[in-house]
Structure 1
Amino acid sequence: MSARWQSQPGSSLWLFRHEWRMFFFDMGDDKSGTKPKRGMPLSGKLLSLLVLAVVHAFAWVVLRGLPALHDQPDPMLVMATGVALAVLFSMMLSMALNRSVKALFERGDLDLLLSSPMPAQSIFTVRLAGIVLGVAFLFLLFLSPFAHVGLFIGQWRWLGIYPSILALAVLASCLAMVLTLSLVKWLGARRTKTVAHLLGALSGAVVFLGFQLFNQFPDESKQRVIAYCKPWIQEGGLFDQHSLVWLPARALFGAWLPALIISAVALALFWLTSRYTCRFFIHGVQQSVTAPARVRPMSAVSAGLHFRQGLYRNVMHKEWRLLLRDPQLLSQIALQLLYLLPAVFLLLKNGILLPGMAATMTFLTCSLTGSLIWVIVAAEDAPDLLRSAPVTARHVQTAKLLAACLPVALLVLPLIVWLSLRQWQAGLITLLGCGAGMLSVACIHLWLSRPGNRNQLNRRGQTQLSVGIIETLSCFSWGGMVLGFLAAGSWGWIGVLTGIVALGVAWLLKIERS
């Protein structure tokens, strides 16, 4: 083994071990007011062990009831598995894009590493390998137990899970890194952060949205599409069971030749990416460090006009500008909006599914409002400055709540109006459910949320478990109210009751804290 890969300070293996530690460090406690801890916290380790135990037990039950894999699995099973792997790949690409942006722009250590005696090629290779393992970790956490149980009961072919998942992770990571570096070259470092985060959100949902869009087609159109595509998957077609498209699926079922091919392709792609994009990587790091912040000129007159238009207008304008300046936050919110689209399509198309879609829209409206309220109220960047302002705290809080609720209200109000024109009772109940839900999550966060950082949005339920549980219960309650009244008459009062109980629990917890 060459000295380059020995686990000595400054070697590639030493740097890779550091990358692996940093991956678990990101899973550590991120509570405001507490000192960050190295590595995954004890609760995270226990949760991971519990997940592994549960998935191993589930795999044991499933594999004991399935016939053993053989050399020639059913073609339709291979194709269905290939489609499932395509969905997993879209999720991997989303994770890889976000991790590439973080590795390039947000870690803040690349400038220091590139100024060290270590070769830039080694730094980039290790960083890319860290992205690959970070992407593969979550999927292997849930899928590797099937390989372990399969090996234990004599079905060794399930070990093909490892090469297929790792090969897809390599492909997603290399594609994400090349795309991120290309965006840096074309758009510059600052715009790349926004675009890459939005692409990450879109790529994670594109397959899901594609299936949902197909479901909106009329039955005749669906039959035409199926009839047109059917020859492609039949024997001799472009995508029949012997097509290269299904290599990852055949490798997952233990075929050694497909596993060998996709592993070789993944290694070659990794080598090519690390070899021929290193120069662009260095250029991207230099841009992220040296690119000046864009300052839009503003005249004194226009600036003065902004601050003479009222407290509420100024506070809302300030909050919306902060939201637009945070690309990662925008991508997370955009992802919630993307998952709202299927409910909107079904609501506009199918009256039979109206109760369920109206309830889903109510739940997602409350959830999106809760995210915005937490960001704007609990994750305020300058709370001391606002406290020292010559205005009452109540007026500032009201302006912040309006800044969070108005965009969501403007988003769902046209749908409620459309629904009211078709069935005024359904529109009124949905309006009441959305309004009550938005008011409830606003009160819950005002009473219980503690100060936090914007980058804790996806993990706010971990840092404040009770708030997350009460918020989720409230969202389900008001969505259940809409579903109950529209589909089962008086059953909607159960949702009203649980929503009030959630608010009461939040009020009692507020009294205990004060």
Structure 2
Amino acid sequence: MRGGPDLRLIAAHELRLAWRDLHAMLTARRRWKTRIVVFWLTLAIAFAHLVAWCIIEPASRDGLVLDRAVLVPLGGSLVLTFAVMLSQAIEQVTRVFYARGDLDLLLSSPVDAGAVSAVRIGAIALTSGGMMMLAAAAFINVMAALNGVSWLAAYLVLPALSMASTALAVLVACFLFGAFGARRTRLIAQIVAAVIGAAFIVGVNLAAVLSMQGYSRVRFFRSDGVMALAPGESSLFWWPVRALAGETAPLLTVIVAGTLMLAGVIVFMHRRFASIVLAASAASRMQRGTGGRRHRFAVDNPTRTLRQKEWLLLLRDPWLVSQSLMQIFYLIPPAAILWTQFGSGGNPGILVVPVLVMATGQLAGGLAWLTVSGEDAPDLIASAPLAPGRILRAKVEAVAGAVGLVALPVIILLAVHSPHSAAVALVTVMIACAAATAIQLWFRGQARRSHFRHRQTTSRIAALCEAGVTISLAGAGGLWAFGSLLALLPALLAAGIMLMAWRLGPGGDTGCRMYRAAGRGVPARRFAPA
């Protein structure tokens, strides 16, 4: 077979897979009627446009002129977008190397390996750009409605940035393979992706905190120091921003540059791409030797053994780093707030507590999904000499221990500055962790750990309830740290969401009874669903 037919064949195959994944994401892998899906999509699109209108309309009342006051915030947002694209592309390229799916079958077939590599690289660029356009579509449409249709050129700029970020991601992945080998690259690439994705937003927030601009990125971008360091309005540095506004020369330059970067990487690196896939395949199947170590067998507490097993699986999870490390990075600016305000009369808990609750709540939900729904050996665990409630308690304790390892340093630092805020943070973090874990117990199902990235698609209700409870508790914690009785309102909202999740969850009552039965030796069949 020749390259042309191979390219069309593989491209059609990738389009079918992309459509299947999109359909599964929208329907949560269930049989929904088309009108129901369309109704909820329309509602989400309308809400997104309403939010975009409320943000953009005040700044557009007197007309939008591309002066330095507008170029700097837009440029910062564009750099943030590119950093997120590059982070996602590095993670996706690495995932293609190791979690290949049907790639082994394609490379062993008579299809040209170069065509397979070219299509896979192009698919990464298409996926990254498509997701970013969906996220920014409401803001682009509102900008075009308020400031002219030329802003619709952003729909051309984002794919160009996606092509450029994918090209850089392939180069970074190939460099890591050459420098560190196939065995270490998976972990290092995830760390690099998380650092790139969080570096700009965390760096800007950190700079805003250190420059006493608070926690607002917009205020930092418009500060006198940033404005003084920014290039002039006629500088080529602002061409990507001017391309968003539809200026012809910058728009053509950005599109051509992104296309040439991706085409060059595909032409010169597609053979290297295929060889790396084979090397990663061999490395992932190699078993680590014992190295002459002798393992001592000892009888230990079964609950402690199960808890240690969960921690060991979390440490060994190959893709957990890229999904959770970014949430940990977001705790750096709150720690900087505590450091800069140490000894002052302010109350940093108003900003620190909500961010800490949001980060730990999301982390607890992800870890709870891995330990409960992502159990790879449920039959083996069920046959252990433990009551179901004790097994469940060990899993919950494993999640709480992992979250506490992240949250306690920030809480201790906060306690040195404000014991009241530290107590509020401790209580709200514990409640957020318990709430996220309970929701995962009520909506638990059986899934593979490799599906961790798509855990939100298994139950839309669980994902919405988890997000709503975390946001409500974050607001309650911030108001409580401020000393306002208004904290009761978001707290009651969180309680209402939890009650709704308990009533809607298929395993709500079952999970509670299993946990209360810990230590009583209740057989597992008593809690089996009807």
Q: Fold conserved (TM > 0.5)?
A: yes
Contact 1:147 1:156 survives alignment (8 Å): no
Distance 1:153 1:348 in 2: 42
* 1:326–1:180 distance in 2 versus 1, CA, 3 Å: same
Counterpart in the other structure of 1:317: 308
Deviations 1:21-59 (A, max 9, x none): 222322343799x9789xx99866665555556667888
Counterpart in the other structure of 2:446: 451
Contact 1:52 1:145 survives alignment (8 Å): yes
Counterpart in the other structure of 1:414: 409
Distance 1:110 1:82 in 2: 38
Residue among 363, 369, 376 paired with 1:368: 363
1:18 aligns with 2:18: no
Distance 2:492 2:40 in 1: 32
For the residue of structure 1 that corresponds to 2:234, the secondary structure is coil
Distance 2:211 2:97 in 1: 45
For the residue of structure 1 that corresponds to 2:295, the secondary structure is helix
1:129 aligns with 2:112: no
- Provide the alpha-carbon RMSD of the alignment: 3.8
Counterpart in the other structure of 1:460: 455
1:202 aligns with 2:184: no
Contact 2:163 2:258 survives alignment (8 Å): yes
Contact 2:177 2:185 survives alignment (8 Å): yes
Contact 2:373 2:445 survives alignment (8 Å): yes
Distance 1:297 1:475 in 2: 43
Residue among 309, 328, 331 paired with 2:319: 328
Distance 1:35 1:218 in 2: 48
Contact 1:52 1:141 survives alignment (8 Å): no
Cα offset for 1:180? Answer: 1.2
Q: Which amino acid aligns with 1:380?
A: E
Distance 1:63 1:492 in 2: 30
Counterpart in the other structure of 2:398: 403
For the residue of structure 2 that corresponds to 1:86, the secondary structure is helix
Counterpart in the other structure of 1:236: none
Distance 1:25 1:152 in 2: 33
Residue among 266, 278, 290 paired with 2:270: 278
Distance 1:498 1:358 in 2: 18
Counterpart in the other structure of 2:171: 178
Cα offset for 1:200? Answer: 2.1
Distance 1:117 1:469 in 2: 46
1:263 aligns with 2:255: yes
For the residue of structure 2 that corresponds to 1:188, the secondary structure is helix
Contact 1:484 1:495 survives alignment (8 Å): no
Counterpart in the other structure of 2:243: 251
* 1:218–1:4 distance in 2 versus 1, CA, 3 Å: closer
Distance 1:117 1:458 in 2: 32
For the residue of structure 1 that corresponds to 2:330, the secondary structure is helix
Range 12-21 or range 375-384, more displaced: 12-21
Cα offset for 1:390? Answer: 2.0
* 1:300–1:175 distance in 2 versus 1, CA, 3 Å: closer
Deviations 1:411-447 (A, max 9, x none): 3223333333433333333322223333333333334
Contact 1:136 1:169 survives alignment (8 Å): yes
For the residue of structure 1 that corresponds to 2:455, the secondary structure is helix
Cα offset for 1:472? Answer: 3.2
Distance 1:24 1:320 in 2: 36
Q: Which amino acid aligns with 2:241?
A: A
Aligned identity (percent) is 26
Q: Which amino acid aligns with 1:186?
A: A
Deviations 1:435-483 (A, max 9, x none): 3333333333334422333344444333223333333343344434433
Distance 2:212 2:476 in 1: 32
For the residue of structure 1 that corresponds to 2:311, the secondary structure is helix
For the residue of structure 1 that corresponds to 2:9, the secondary structure is helix
Q: Which amino acid aligns with 1:280?
A: R
Distance 1:375 1:361 in 2: 21
Q: Within 5 Å, which residues of 2 pair with 1:79-228? A: 79-143=72-136, 155-219=148-212
Cα offset for 1:288? Answer: 2.0
Contact 2:7 2:119 survives alignment (8 Å): yes
For the residue of structure 2 that corresponds to 1:88, the secondary structure is helix
Q: What is the TM-score when the length of structure 1 is the normalising length? A: 0.83
Distance 2:146 2:70 in 1: 22
What runs of 5+ residues in structure 1 fail to find an aligned partner?
A: 234-238
Cα offset for 1:281? Answer: 0.8
* 1:487–1:380 distance in 2 versus 1, CA, 3 Å: same
Q: Which amino acid aligns with 2:261?
A: L
Deviations 1:290-335 (A, max 9, x none): 2242424176852414xx2322332222222222222322211112
Contact 1:146 1:158 survives alignment (8 Å): no
What runs of 5+ residues in structure 2 fail to find an aligned partner?
A: 214-218, 511-528
* 1:458–1:288 distance in 2 versus 1, CA, 3 Å: closer
For the residue of structure 2 that corresponds to 1:437, the secondary structure is helix
Distance 1:260 1:155 in 2: 19
Q: Which amino acid aligns with 2:483?
A: A
Counterpart in the other structure of 1:387: 382
Counterpart in the other structure of 1:436: 431
Cα offset for 1:380? Answer: 0.8
Higher relative contact order (CA 8 A, sep 6+): 2
Distance 2:500 2:30 in 1: 30
* 1:118–1:335 distance in 2 versus 1, CA, 3 Å: same
Q: Within 5 Å, which residues of 2 pair with 1:480-499? A: 480-499=475-494
1:27 aligns with 2:22: yes
